[in-house]
Amino acid sequence: MDISTITKDYTRLQKQSLNNLFDTLTLFQDHAEKTSRYWAYQMGVNNNAQAAVDQYRAVLKQGRDDARKLINEGFTNVEVSFAGIGSKQPAE
């Protein structure tokens, strides 16, 4: 195996691992959101406070999505930069 093949495989592995991590974090965040909404309903939190919490949740979700997009773009850039290395012939 040459270095470009190893790097491509390693990059794919890291990208898949990160996607799995983000999927898991999304599940945890969604469950925590449902739990906190139920708790707020049971405690009688007023609508103004609930609206503020909902805005905060929206900011957190947007940050999560932006981070995932940024990291995936980084992995794509790494894949593109190593895409042509394996096809180049060494100079004689």
Bigger pLDDT: 84 vs 2: 2
Contact 64, 25 (CB under 8 A): yes
- Quick one: pLDDT band at residue 73, thresholds 50, 70, 90? very high
Residue 55 binned pLDDT confidence (cut-offs 50, 70, 90) = very high
Global confidence as pTM: 0.71
What local confidence, expressed as pLDDT, does residue 78 receive? 85
CB 87 within 8 A of CB 63: no
The first and second tokens of residue 10, run together, are 């390693």
